[in-house]
């Protein structure tokens, strides 16, 4: 997934978030912010050795809660993320969607 963003000072950058499958079947998550104005790149290690939808979902959430990305956490479009993950592993995308639905159900139960 890639997108462009900027801050109030007008600094421009692009983000690339990648989820890769390791030889042992686990997953690794990373993000890279590349400046379009010559500043240093900023990398976020989202985790490695991730197994299962719940672990990957949690790692993505943690990645978006990083100081550099937290302002866009509320705008995370999970369906788009699941669609991108489905291209890598349909079962993983299904597990992630189920884990998110379970969490949202728990949140609703807590409010009652």
Residue 5 has pLDDT above 60, yes or no: no
Predicted confidence at residue 19, as pLDDT, reads 92
Of 76, 74, 77, 94, the closest CA to residue 85 belongs to 94
For the chain, what are the domain ranges? 2-111
**Phi and psi (nearest 5°) for 111?**
-75, -25
Distance between CA atoms of 34 and 43, rounded to whole angstroms?
A: 9
Distance between CA atoms of 110 and 103, rounded to whole angstroms?
A: 10
Q: What is the pTM (predicted TM-score) of this model? A: 0.77
Residue 70: pLDDT band by 50, 70, 90 thresholds? low
């Amino acid at each position: 997934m890639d997108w462009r963003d900027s801050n109030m000072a007008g600094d421009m950058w692009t983000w690339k978030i990648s989820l890769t499958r390791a030889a042992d079947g686990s997953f690794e998550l990373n993000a890279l912010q590349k400046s379009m104005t010559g500043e240093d790149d900023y990398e976020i290690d989202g985790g490695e050795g991730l197994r299962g939808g719940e672990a990957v979902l949690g790692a993505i959430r943690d990645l978006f809660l990083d100081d550099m990305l937290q302002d866009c956490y509320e705008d995370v479009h999970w369906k788009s993320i699941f669609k991108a993950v489905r291209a890598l592993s349909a079962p993983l995308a299904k597990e992630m969607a189920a884990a998110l639905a379970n969490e949202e159900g728990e949140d609703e139960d807590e409010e009652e």
